[in-house]
Chains A and B, each alone.
Chain A
Amino acid sequence: MKMKENTAPEFATGDASAIKKRKSKLNRLHTSDYVFIGICVVVIIICLLPLVNLLARSLSGSNYLIRNEISLWPKGFNLDAYVGVFKESEYRWAFVWTVFLTIVGTLLSLTMTTLCAYPLIFDKLKGRGVMNIMITITMFFNAGTMPNYLLFKQLHMLDTPYVLLVPFCLSVFNMIIMRSFFYGIPDSLRESAELDGASFFQILTKIYLPLSKPVIATLALYYAVGRWNGYSDALMFAHNNKKNWPLQLYLWNMLQGQSNIDNPGEYKVGYAEQTKAAVVMFSTIPILCIYPWLQKYFIHGVTVGAVKE
């Protein structure tokens, strides 16, 4: 750590041999380094193994599965399960419907979050304090599942698609993340635009939104993942109309149907193991594809929210 003091001048002079020396010093690993690396490798394996297993199962021949021969590598490789899943109209519908819900829900949530966060950064806005208190209270006092249910019942929202989009569209936590990002944009930008006669709406669309791409990406990820992964709101408030079911609820019913063979009820029994694996796999692929690209954004979001909390 002592050498840290020297590094800056070394880089400044561009002395190649000094840099090299520093690098070799850094690269010398102690025993404890190997222990840490070893632990991290184990962590990676533990995190990935279940997914590898799932993938192997979804790609294997069903007779191998029945004989319990599959662990990490597919045997009797085929894509039948995936083809079969896509042939099933119920699954196809659930997939398309969830994509739709996720896109509409994310757009709605982002709009609401922006509309709530942006006006609150103006110190001179009258009523801002009241609004802040009103929002903070909802973070500590939440009426809970049943009062929500009764409200939705009274509003005739139960078993409609609206109940999956509107009631939980604005997250206070995410609003705070966005607001603190807005606070980070220098006031001078805003003030000079005001002097030039720009309206507040123009300032939002021309200055704040273009500068806020990282936070918008983060929140879009949070909202989209939340909608894509959510099943409890559909289970509680939209259960009676199967057309409204998002993919996760459909999936849950399918997995459950298999474990309740004694009491199948309305659920289909006897999905092939392979099909189940394929459906689970397919339900996560969109998220697994998106999230690594947004990593540098969402880490920032988490920490900002935590500091402001």
Chain B
Amino acid sequence: MGAEELKPSEPSANYGLPTKKLKGHKTGYMKRYWQLYVMLLLPVAYFIIFKYIPMIYVQAAWKDYKLDGTSIWKMPWTSKNGWKHFIDIFKNKQFINALKNTITLNLLDLVVGFAVPIVFALILNELRMKKFKKTVQTVAYMPHFLSWVVIYGLAVQLFATNTGVVNNALEGMGLSRIGFLDQEIPWIIMYILIGIWQSFGWNSILYLAAITSINPELYEAASVDGAGRFKKMWHITLPGIRPTIVILLIMSIGNIIGSGFDRPYALQKPLVLNVSEVLSTYIYKIGIIGSKWERGIAIGLFQSVVGVFFLLTANKLARKLGDRGIW
């Protein structure tokens, strides 16, 4: 590769001139490129320290973690051939419950929420007034930039049982107050709706970008054939963004057992813990607050292994159905 550096000198090499310059090329290479290596020093150190060294700690899932300074490699294996922590977590009712909640909430997110940004992108694409379209976009992206704590604050202002605006309105209409955030089923519904509210605008960006890359001639040809607006949406726009839809669908299926921390933790309240405890918040509670590190690691590992399995399966399925998948 270094030889390519001095391309202008290559013809001269062809004429039988000294070829031992190669060594000189090598020092020349370092002389030219050392700055790039210096730049990479910090990022490489970052990846090793903060991304790869933590992977070493994953083995603690099979070990008895000791805090007395012994190296992780020398810590003793746990009982039951090292599988004690895994057996413990699967015997634990709280864990099973958290697992169940994670899957339920993610599935609901997928079923209820997945189509919303697609529909929204289709509608935006049909808007003809540029300025209005831009305003709608600006406003719809806004919730994505709010923190989950703030969103929780907003939700409380609106939906709190005794002081929330919506409940005040309900009472004003002679209906009874609903514990939107304090009862299990209403909480689940609110969790899903708030999630959609936060992300639909932002997620529509990808679909909008995909729509703009559809060949406009297709629409023209369809108009010539007498296709109306909705026919064009159905037969051109939707198939045109199908690859994007499939990729995002695969990714959400891969994430069916994973979940962010910020959203469930900010929204869950003690009253509804039974349905709102998910794996990420459970890991935090059992691992960091409860100091059962090995269990936290074991759950995290289980989560990523299952996640990869789902991702691969979904990808394979997509390819079987004739789509490109993510790789």
Contacts and interface: CB of A to CB of B under 8 A. Distances in A.
Contacts of A295: 137-138, 141
A306 interface: yes
A306 B220 contact: no
A243 B153 CA distance: 23
Interface stretch (B13-21, B46-54, B95-103, B184-192): B46-54
Given A115-B39, A141-B304, A255-B152, A43 B206 contact: no
A36 B126 contact: yes
A47 B1 contact: no
B137 A276 contact: no
Interface in B98-127: 120, 123-124, 126-127
A4 B220 contact: yes
Contact of A53 (B60, B132, B165, B293): B165
A211 interface: no
A47 B201 contact: yes
B147 A231 contact: yes
A12 interface: no
Interface string B287-327: 11000010011001101100010000000000000000010
B300 A32 contact: no
Interface in A194-227: 199-201, 204, 225
B57 A68 contact: no
Contacts of A299: 205, 209
Contact of B127 (A40, A116, A200): A40
Contacts of B230: 32
Contact of B1 (A57, A124, A303): A124
Interface stretch (B76-84, B86-94, B262-270): B262-270
Nearest to A239: B288
A298 to B, nearest CB: 8
A180 to B, nearest CB: 14
Given A71-B168, A143-B54, A284 B150 contact: yes
Interface in B193-250: 197, 201-202, 205-206, 209, 216, 219-220, 222-224, 229-230, 244
A22 B47 CA distance: 56
Q: Is the interface of A mostly helix, strand, loop or mixed?
A: helix
Interface in A116-142: 116, 118-119, 122, 124-126, 131, 134-135, 138, 140-142
A150 B154 CA distance: 35
Nearest to B33: A125
Contacts of A292: 138
B47 A138 contact: yes
Contact of B126 (A33, A115, A124, A141): A33
A165 B165 CA distance: 38
B22 interface: no
Given A124-B4, A147-B297, A280 B40 contact: no
A54 B157 contact: yes
B246 to A, nearest CB: 13
Contacts of B156: 255, 259
Given A116-B43, A146-B300, A149-B288, A255 B149 contact: yes
Contacts of A115: 39-40, 42-43
Contacts of A112: 42-43, 46
A4 B216 CA distance: 10
A116 B40 CA distance: 6
B252 interface: no
A17 to B, nearest CB: 21
Given A36-B127, A51-B154, A251-B149, A145 B300 contact: yes
**Considering residues B60, B154, B261, B283, which has the most beta carbons from chain A within 10 angstroms of its beta carbon?**
B154
Contacts of A140: 308
Contact of A236 (B4, B157, B288): B288
Contacts of A228: 147
B120 to A, nearest CB: 7
Contacts of B135: 44
A48 B142 CA distance: 9
Contact of A46 (B36, B47, B145, B197): B197
Contacts of A249: 149
A222 B265 CA distance: 22
A149 B205 contact: no
B120 A146 contact: no
Nearest to B151: A50
Given A2-B223, A32-B229, A273-B163, A229 B146 contact: yes
A288 B57 contact: no
B178 interface: no
Nearest to A276: B153
B280 interface: yes
Contacts of A142: 51, 304
A295 B40 CA distance: 31
B169 interface: yes
A203 B48 CA distance: 28
B136 interface: yes
B68 to A, nearest CB: 12
Contact of B293 (A44, A71, A126, A146): A146
15 contacts: A43-B120, A47-B142, A57-B157, A71-B168, A71-B169, A143-B57, A146-B293, A147-B54, A147-B297, A168-B50, A170-B46, A200-B32, A200-B39, A232-B262, A283-B150
